[in-house]
Structure 1
Amino acid sequence: MSFIELKNITKTFNGVAVLKNLNVEIEEGNVLGILGRSGCGKSVLINMLRGTKEYKPDSGQMIFNIAICNKCSHVEPPSKVGETCKCGGELKAKTVDFWHSDRKDFAEIRKRIAIMLQRNFALYERETVIENVLRAMEEGEYEDNLYKALDLLDMVQMSHRITHVARDLSGGEKQRVVLARQMAKEPMLFLADEPTGTLDPQTAEYLHQTLINGVKNKGITMVITSHWPEVMNKLADQVIWLDNGEIIEKGPSTEVVKHFLETVPLPKKVDEVEYGGPVIDVKDAKKHYYSIERGVIKAVDGVDLNINKNEIFGIVGLSGSGKTTLSRMLIGLTEPSSGEIKVKLGDEWIDMTKPGPLGRGRVIPYIGLLHQEYSLYPYRSVLENLTDSISLELPAEFAKMKAIHTLNAVGFDNEYSNTILNKEPNELSGGERHRVAIAQVLIKEPNIIILDEPTGTMDPITRVQVTDSILKAREELEQSFIIISHDMDFVIDVCDRTALMRGGKILKIGDPKDIVKELTPEEEEKMLN
C-alpha cells in the first residue's frame, strides 16, 4: 500500500489551471523529486501536500494511508500499524482523504509534516541557534532535548554557531538551522521546496548531504523540488517532470533527468562585440575597516580596473574576497578609504567619491542594482512593481506595453506576461519572482547594471533565458553589466572579461575560460558546478 496517493488533483488560481489532473503515488521511505522550470506548479504541489489552506485542490483526492493511535490519535506512517504508541495505545490502519477529512485527522497528519521553503528561513531572529532548535521540540526533559538539539546541530554542521543569534547568520547557515528545526519535529513526511536555490555550490552540497544523511538514510519519506537536475539524481528515487501543471514524465530519476536536460537550450553564441570607450575607471581603490578583534581588515586593497561601454564584466571570488564591497564602491554605496573611482556620464567623468547632486548623485539614477537578497513589493501587482512602485510614472497603456516588453527580455512569453501582470509576487514561483526582480532593474533602462548572484533560484531553462536576455539588453540598449557570481559556468556563458578577486585584491583580469585556470582547488570546489 502506498503512503500517499494523489488522484486526479486539479488546482486553479484566478481561473488559471496550475495543476491539471495529477496522479502520483508516494511509497513510504522513498524520495519523490519534482522537476520542472519555474512556474510549472512545483511549489503549489508542495504547499498542497503541507496542508496550506490556500492550496486546497479544486478537485481530486489526496489520500494518506496512516497508522493512528486509538487512544491519543497520534499519527505514524503505515509501517507502524500494530505497534504500541508512546501513550500505550495501539496504532491502527486508517485511510484518510486529507483535504476532506475531519479537522482532527487533518491536524494530526499536518503536525507530522515538516517543510523547508526557499528564501523563507522561519527562525526566531532574536534567539540563539540552540534556542531555535529547542523551540521546535515537543515537551520533554530539558536535558534530553538539549542533547538531541546538539546532535541535530552537529548533523547540519552548525555546532560552531550554537550561541549565535539567528539574525546574524548567513543565508546558508540559516537554512541549515531551519533543517535542524524541522528534523527536531521527527516528521513522517519531509517537504523541501528548492531548499538550496539561493546558496553557493559548496553550501548547497553540504545541505544536500545533510538531507541524505538526516532524512533519506533514516527512511523518512521526502518530496523535494529543485531546479538543479543533479540534486534529483543524488536524492530522489523517483521523479515527476511537471510542465505547465501537467506530468510530462515520471520514473527513475536518472531517466527523467536525462530527458529533461535534453530540452535545455544552449545559450546563444555572441558575435564579435564592439565596445565603446571606458565608462568605469578605478585606480588604487582601497576600503579598510578596523575591528577590535581582528585589527585592520582590508576588504578592498589597491584595485585598478576599467570597464567599457557595452561590456559584460564578471567579478568572481570566494565569500569574503571583496567582490561585493568593490561593487558597492563602484556605484557609490560604500565610501572608499582611498583611491579614485570615476564613472562616465555623457561626455563627463563623475567622481564617485564625491557626494551630492554634483558628485555621484548625478550618476546613481543611471545605475541599476539587483541585490542577491532582492525583494519585491509584496502587496503590489507585477505591473505595479515594474512601474508605480519604483517611481516609473507612465501612461497606463504604455506602462503595460513596456512591462510586457521587459518581461519578454527575462524569459516570459507574451501570453504568460499578460497573465502575471495583475498577480502579486506571492502568486509566482521563486524563479518567476527572481526574473521579475531583474525586469524591475532593466525597465528603467540604466546605463550600468550590477547583478549580484542573478541565477540563484533559476532552473536550467530560465538560466539560459536570463543569459540570453542580458546579451539582448546589451545589444539593444548599449548597456554595460557587472556580474557578481559564484556560478563560474554562468560567468563563462555571459561575460566578456572577468576579474578574479582574492583577499581584497584583483589577481587577474581576462577571458572567463582563462580565469578558470587560475582557480585554487578550494575555489574550483565552490565556484564550478
Structure 2
Amino acid sequence: MSFIELKNVTKSFNDVKILKNLNMTIDEGKVLGILGRSGSGKSVLINMLRGMKEYRPDDGQILYTVAICPECLRVEPPSAAGKICGCGCGCEFELKTIDFWNSERQVFAAIKRRISIMLQRTFALYEDDTVIDNVLKSITGHDEEESTYMAIDLIEMAQMAHRITHIARDLSGGEKQRVVLARQIAKEPMIFLADEPTGTLDPKTAELLHQALIEGVKNKGTTMIITSHWPEVMKKLSDHVIWLEKGEIIVEGDPDTVVKKFMDQVPLPEKKEVYKTGGPIIKMEGVKKHYYSIERGVVKAVDGIDLEVGESEIFGIVGLSGAGKTTLSRILYGLTEPSSGNIEVKLGENWIDMTQKGPFGRGRVIPYLGILHQEYSLYPHRNVLGNLTEAISLELPAEFAKMKAIYVLKAVGFDEEYADSLLTKYPDELSGGERHRVALAQVLIKEPNIIILDEPTGTMDPITRVQVTDSIQRARDELNQTFVIISHDMDFVLDVCDRAALMRGGKILKIGDPVEIVEDLTPKEKEKMLTEE
C-alpha cells in the first residue's frame, strides 16, 4: 500500500535549488535507498521527510497516507485502518491522506512523533547515563518490567550486551552509533530514516549495524528510507533505489542495476608511486593511556605504543572501533595527556618533547600541526570563507583569502564554480558530506607540517574519496607534508598510505605495507579479533 508520496517537491537555500521537482512513491513496509554524491540533496530530503522546520519544501507536497485515530490522533501505518486504537479511547483508525507540511499542527506533530531518524556523525546520547538507561529513556507506553526486557532485547540486537552497564561517554564512536540505533528502534516508529548510518564505521562494526537494521527494522516490516554513498549498503538493505544527483532523480530501479550505473561513474585514483620519505619526524616510545572508570575498572585505551613516522610519509592507522586509534591521535596532538611514555616531534632541526606543556614544549609545535576530528565541527555563525580564515586566526587580505579558500576547496573535491558559491554559505546550509569536506579544507588551508586525519572519508562518496586521495598525495609532494590517517576505509588506506599500522586493544600488532595490513583484516581474522576482545 502506498505510504509516502512526493509530488513536485522543490527546495532551495540562498536561491540555489537543492531539490528539483522530486516525484516518488514509497510503499508501506519497503526500504527505499537513496544513493548519491555528497551535496546531491540526500540529507535535505531525509530532514524534510522528518518534518524539520528549516527543511519545509518551497513547492510541492509530501503526502502521508496513514491510519489515524479521530479521538486521540494516534497515527499508524495505513494497514492499521479499521483496527481499534490501543490508547483506550475505543475508536477505529481511519485511513487518511495527509498533506504533511500543510496539515494542522496537532496532526503534523502526531506524524512526526512516529518517525525515528539516525543522523550521520551524531551521537545523541545521555553521556552520563549507562547504555541501558539511554535505551530505556526512549521507551514509552510499557510498564517497567516490559520496558526493561525490551531494552535488553534491543541492546542484544545491536550487539552491545557486553557494554550494557557502561557509561555512554566511555564508548567508542562505533559503539555509540549502535546504542543510538537501539534508542531509535525503541521508539517503535512507523517510519525509520537513516542518513549515512555507517559512514564512519569500520567494516566489522558497519556489518553489525546493517544486521541490526535488518533485524530490528526491515524484518519487522517497518518502512525505512536510508541514504548512503556506499553501494554495499544499497544492495544489502534496499528494495528499491534512487540515484540522486544535484537534487534530481537520474536513475531508479532495483539495487543491483542502479548501483552498477553509479559505480561506472567513479574514476580510478592516480596510480600511487613509491615515495621516498625523509628521516623520522614523529617518535613515540612506550606510550600508554590508562584511565579508571567506575563501571569498567582500569581501561587501557593505549597500552605501550612504539611508533616512528617519517617526514612526508602518509601513515595509516587501522583497526576496529574501540582499538585506541582516536585516543592515540589525541595524545600525539596534545589534546590527551599520556599516562606514561615519550613523544617527540621534529621541528626544524630540533626534537620537541610533546609531553612538556607550555611555549617551550608542545606549544612550539602545535601551530605546525593540523587535526581533523572524527566528530568535527564548524563555527555555525560564520560562513564557509569565515570558517576557513578568521575563525582559525588565518588573517589574509580579502582577495587573497578568497583565492586561497577556493584553492583548498578544489583540493577536497569541489569544482571551482561550486567552491566560489560555497564561500557565502553557512554550515547548516551544507550537506553532511559538504561540511565534512569544508572541515578538511579548514585543516589543510593552514599548511601544517603534520596533519592528523581521523576518518577523513567517512561521509564522502566514492568520487569525492578519489579526489581527496589525489589531493593528499599532491599536498605531500608539493608541500612536503606528513599525514597520519586513522581510517576504517580499507580502499582509501590502500590507495593513499605508504605504510600502515594495525591496532587492537590499545596495542599496535603490526606495521608494514598497507596491502599486508589489509590482508590481516580478512573476515575470519576480524571475527577472531572481535572474539578475543
| TM-score, normalised relative to structure 1 | 0.92
Contact 2:301 2:323 in 1 (8 A): no
Inter-partner Cα distance in structure 1 for 2:25 and 2:180: 27
What is the CA-CA distance between 1:440 and the residue it aligns to? 0.9
Cα distance between partner residues in 1 of 2:298 and 2:185: 39
* Aligned Cα root-mean-square deviation (Å): 2.6
Contact 1:300–1:325 (CA under 8 A) maintained in structure 2: no
Letter of the 1:127 partner, please give it: D
Structure 2 counterpart SS, 1:439: helix
Following the alignment from structure 2 to structure 1, what is the Cα–Cα distance between the partners of residues 125 and 328? 31
Task: Name the structure 2 match of 1:113.
Answer: 115
SS of residue matched to 2:39: coil
Q: Structure 2 CA distance, aligned partners of 1:195 and 1:512? A: 26
Distance 1:481 1:167 in 2: 28
User: Are the counterparts in 1 of residues 469 and 495 from structure 2 also a CA contact under 8 Å?
Assistant: yes
Return the alpha-carbon distance in structure 2 between the equivalents of residues 453 and 318 of structure 1: 12
Distance 1:140 1:466, change over 3 A: same
Cα–Cα, structure 1 residues 286 and 426, in superposed 2: closer, same or farther, change >3 Å?
same
2:184 to 182, 185, 194: 182
Cα distance in 1 for partners of 2:22, 2:312 equals: 47
Counterpart of 1:343?
345
Is 2:155 aligned against 1:153? Answer: yes
Structure 1 position 447, deviation (Å): 1.1
Instruction: Say whether the 8 Å CA contact 1:303–1:505 is kept in structure 2.
Output: no
Superposed, 1:444-483 pairs within 5 Å as 444-483=446-485
Deviations along 1:127-167, one digit per CA (max 9) or x if unpaired, are: 33333333323344333333333332332233343433333
Distance 1:338 1:45, change over 3 A: closer
Structure 1 counterpart SS, 2:262 = helix
Identity across the alignment (%):
69
Paired position in structure 1 for 2:27: 27
2:301 matched to 1:301? no
Distance 1:285 1:131 in 2: 37
2:8 equivalent in structure 1: 8
Question: In 2, distance between residues paired with 1:268 and 1:217?
Answer: 42
How far off its partner does 1:406 sit? 0.7
Distance in structure 2 (CA, Å) of the matches to 1:160 and 1:423 = 44
Show the 5 A alignment for 1:183-202. Answer: 183-202=185-204
Give the AA of the match of 1:195. P
1:349-388 correspondence to structure 2 within 5 Å: 349-388=351-390
Given the superposition, is the C-alpha separation of residues 156 and 298 from structure 1 closer, same or farther in structure 2, using an over 3 Å criterion? closer
Distance in 1, Cα, partners of 2:323 & 2:67: 53
Structure 1 pair 320–45 and aligned structure 2 pair: CA distance change class (3 A): closer
Q: How far apart, in 2, do the equivalents of 1:190 and 1:348 lie?
A: 55
Give the count of matched residue pairs: 525
Change in Cα spacing, 1:170 to 1:320, as seen in structure 2 (3 Å) is: closer
| 1:513 aligned residue | 515
One-letter amino acid of the counterpart of residue 467, structure 1: T
- 1:92 counterpart residue number: 94
Cα deviation digits, residues 189-236 of structure 1 (max 9, x gap):
111111222222222211111111111111111111112111111111
CA deviation vs aligned residue, 1:351-403 (integer Å, no higher than 9, x gap): 44444333332222111112222222222211111111111111122111111
Counterpart residue type for residue 206 of structure 2: A
What's the counterpart of residue 288 of structure 2? 287
Comparing 157-166 with 400-409, greater Cα deviation is found at 157-166
Q: Which moved more, 1:440-449 or 1:517-526?
A: 517-526
Give the whole-Å Cα distance in 2 for the aligned partners of 1:88 and 1:246.
44
Question: Residues 124-139 of structure 1 correspond to what in structure 2 (within 5 A)?
Answer: 124-139=126-141
Q: Equivalents in 2 of 1:354, 1:491: separation in Å?
A: 32
Matching residue within 196, 221, 224 for 1:222? 224
Instruction: Write the distance in 1 (CA, Å) between the matches of 2:466 and 2:242.
Output: 22
Shift of 1:59: 0.8
Number of the residue aligned with 2:52: 52
Q: 1:256 aligns with which of 255, 258, 280?
A: 258
Distance 1:419 1:511, change over 3 A: same
Shift of 1:523: 4.9
Amino acid paired to 1:468:
D
In structure 2, the CA distance between the partners of 1:173 and 1:499, relative to structure 1 (3 Å rule), is closer
Q: How far apart are residue 514 of structure 1 and its match?
A: 2.5
Question: Which residue pairs with 1:43 in the alignment?
Answer: 43
Could you tell me which residue of structure 1 aligns to residue 236 of structure 2? 234
| 8 Å contact from structure 1 (residues 285, 337) kept in 2 | no
Q: Deviations over 1:56-109 (max 9, x none)?
A: 111111111222223333222222222222232122221221112222322222
The answer on whether the counterparts of 1:200 and 1:526 sit within 8 Å (CA) in structure 2 is no
Q: 1:522 to 1:353 in 2, by over 3 A?
A: farther
SS in 1 for 2:251: strand
Does residue 1:500 correspond to 2:532, yes or no? no
Distance in 2 separating the partners of 1:470 and 1:390: 21
In 1, the alpha carbon distance for the partners of 2:371 and 2:356 equals 20
Q: What does the per-residue CA deviation read over 1:17-65, in whole Å, with 9 as the maximum and x for residues that have no partner?
A: 0000101010111100111011100011111111111111111111112
Does the 8 A contact of 1:118 with 1:197 survive in 2? yes
Letter in 1 for 2:54: E
Which runs of 5 or more residues in structure 2 are unaligned? none
TM-score, reference length from structure 2: 0.91
Equivalent residue in structure 2 for 1:405, among 396, 404, 407 = 407
SS at match of 2:2: coil
Of 421, 431, 436 in structure 2, the residue corresponding to residue 429 of structure 1 is 431
* Distance of 2:519 and 2:457 partners within structure 1: 23
Taking the aligned partners of 1:339 and 1:162, their CA distance within structure 2 comes to 32
Shift in alpha-carbon separation, 1:272–1:48, aligned structure 2, 3 A: same
| Conserved 8 A contact 2:78-2:95 | yes
Aligned match for 1:268, one of 257, 267, 270: 270
Give, in whole Å, the separation in 2 of the partners of 1:79 and 1:234: 26
Q: What one-letter code is carried by the residue in structure 1 that aligns with 2:47?
A: N
What is aligned with 2:74? 74
Match of 1:317 in 2: 319
CA distance in 2, matches of 1:520, 1:235: 22
Superposed CA deviations along residues 436-481 of structure 1, whole A, max 9, x for unmatched, are 1111111111111111221222221221121111112112212111
